[in-house]
Amino acid sequence: MRTTVGIIGAGPAGLLLARLLHNAGIDSVVLESRDRAYVERRQRAGILEQGTVDVLREAGAGERMDREGLRHDGIELRFDRRRHRVDFPALTGGRSVMVYAQTEVCKDLIALQLKEGGPLLFEAEALAVEGAETDRPRIRFRHQGAEDVLECDYVVGCDGFWGVARAAVPDGRTFERTYPFGWLGILADVAPSHDELVYARHDRGFALLSMRSPSVSRLYLQVPADTDADDWSDERIWDELERRFETDDDWTLRRGPLTQKSVTPMRSYVHEPMRHGRLFLAGDAAHIVPPTGAKGLNLAVGDVVTLARALVHRTATGSDELIDAYSATCLRRVWQAERFSYDMTTLLHTAPDATPFENRLQVARLERITSSRAAETDLAEAYTGFPIG
């Protein structure tokens, strides 16, 4: 098999890249190791930055998002039993975010790809990328029990943190931090208890109230990194959420039947560079952020927009200028998201070895954000998203 751009992975990065290339008349093949149902059900991110929303619309993939997604103009910070709303449009000149789940973004992009785009092969596992430094890179893969080779002009590793593409970038440097806690995430059939997201700092640990629709709540609890989700009964989860969200006013948490429950580890990770010859890394294949700032999916979108532009520029002009700038261009934005995600994580989570001094500092940082327009604007600008490219 032969194509112009071989894409490994049908997560948000791989699917959107295929769509952007298709719209520009560049052919691609997407190889995905899992089946379609698995990719469409994997519960992950829920917040789209303004820039991501704009990109999906421009790519012709925003129709259902505009119908079913929930525009959010702010978040609530909760600490010391107090509540503070951060008003995004007022602080950023009109920017907001959209609550529209990663599962739905993937469903929309898969449907478009199968209808209009190039081949998208499920249960096709990439085994290795070969010849990245030549002008004929190849992906060895296994599909329906047989090994095959995809010959390409360019290969893009959109295969997530555990993929194979990164291994084909020699002499890379990695920067990493793991955290001694994770998130226990639940999905519950109950109307969200608040109409915007609530990020809560509590001495017992962080809690986040989010949503998937007007009738489905998504909630997260900080738990120790080695937590087994089965150790948490539904009642224990609701009791703990209630404690961490408690306020001095009459706010109450609505409870409902759980439909999903799982633990996500937290990690910061960057691999530099994001390119070797004709192999590019995009999204989680190159970098991971802890989820507190809701940046993971949005970073993946920024990478593939930058890469699509570079490949289109190369096709139109023959110039490698943007391709050569790809890694550095993406990494500038990646490191801003790493910084913000780290700041949000350390602002809101209780480290197991935190001293009383550090706990007080967290509250002081929160009080600074809620009392200084400059500090609050800094948060709002980062949360609604850094410019792409």
Gap between the Cα atoms of 96 and 72, Å rounded: 6
- Sheet containing strand 207-213, edge to edge, reads 82-87, 74-79, 197-200, 207-213, 216-224, 173-188, 258-272, 287-288
Q: Which does 327 bind (CB under 5 to 8 A by kind): ligand DHB, ligand FAD, none?
A: none
Please list every residue from 282 through 321 that binds ligand DHB, using CB under 6 A: 291-292, 294
Gap between the Cα atoms of 132 and 138, Å rounded: 8
Give per-residue burial for 216-237: e unless 16+ CB within 10 Å, then b. Answer: bbbbbbbbeeebeeeebeeeeb
Could you list the residues that contact ligand FAD (CB under 6 A)? 8-14, 31-34, 39, 44-45, 102, 125-126, 158-160, 163-164, 264, 283-284, 291, 294-297, 300
- The residue from 194, 202, 276, 295 that is catalytic is 295
Interface mask toward ligand DHB for 179-218; x: CB under 6 A: ------------------x----------x-x-------x
Query: Closer CB to ligand DHB, residue 72 or residue 276?
Result: 72
| From 41-49, 63-71, 108-116, 266-274, span contacting ligand DHB (CB under 6 A) | 41-49
DSSP code, position 291: G
Q: Which does 286 bind (CB under 5 to 8 A by kind): ligand DHB, ligand FAD, none?
A: none
Instruction: Return left, alpha or beta for 60; rule: phi > 0 is left, psi -120 to 50 is alpha, else beta.
Output: left
Q: Which does 187 bind (CB under 5 to 8 A by kind): ligand DHB, ligand FAD, none?
A: none
Angle at 277 between CA 274 and CA 282, to 5 degrees: 30
Of 17, 45, 65, 323, which lies in the binding site for ligand DHB, with binding defined by CB under 6 A? 45
- The residue from 12, 137, 192, 291 that is catalytic is 291
Query: Closer CB to ligand FAD, residue 269 or residue 318?
Result: 269
To the query of whether residue 72 is one of the catalytic residues in this protein, the response is: yes
Which residues is 6 bridged to in the sheet?
A: 29, 155
SS3 label, residue 334: helix
- CA atoms within a 13 Å half-sphere pointing along the CA-CB vector of 378: 14
Q: Which position's Cβ is nearest ligand DHB?
A: 46
Render 29-91 in DSSP notation, one character per residue. EEE-SS-HHHHHH-----EEEHHHHHHHHHTT--HHHHHH-EEE-EEEEEETTEEEEEEHHHH
To the query of whether residue 383 is one of the catalytic residues in this protein, the response is: yes
To the query of whether residue 291 is one of the catalytic residues in this protein, the response is: yes
- The residue from 154, 179, 220, 383 that is catalytic is 383
Query: Closer CB to ligand DHB, residue 210 or residue 327?
Result: 210
- The residue from 179, 199, 220, 326 that is catalytic is 199
To the query of whether residue 276 is one of the catalytic residues in this protein, the response is: no
Query: Closer CB to ligand DHB, residue 47 or residue 184?
Result: 47
- The residue from 72, 194, 271, 276 that is catalytic is 72
CB 259 within 8 A of CB 275: no
Selection from 112, 145, 142, 117 nearest residue 127 by Cα:
142
Please tell me whether residue 46 binds ligand DHB under the rule CB under 6 A. Answer: yes
To the query of whether residue 199 is one of the catalytic residues in this protein, the response is: yes
Gap between the Cα atoms of 349 and 221, Å rounded: 10
To ligand DHB, the closest distance from the beta carbon of 311 in angstroms equals 30
Q: Which does 241 bind (CB under 5 to 8 A by kind): ligand FAD, ligand DHB, none?
A: none
Checking DSSP bridges between strand 97-99 and strand 47-49, what pairing results, if any? Answer: antiparallel
Please list every residue from 342 through 381 that binds ligand DHB, using CB under 6 A: none
CB 268 within 8 A of CB 288: yes
CB 95 within 8 A of CB 28: no
Q: Which does 74 bind (CB under 5 to 8 A by kind): ligand DHB, ligand FAD, none?
A: none
Query: Closer CB to ligand FAD, residue 80 or residue 111?
Result: 111
Residues taking part in catalysis: 72, 199, 291, 295, 383
Q: Which residues bind ligand DHB (CB under 6 A)?
A: 45-47, 197, 208, 210, 218, 291-292, 294
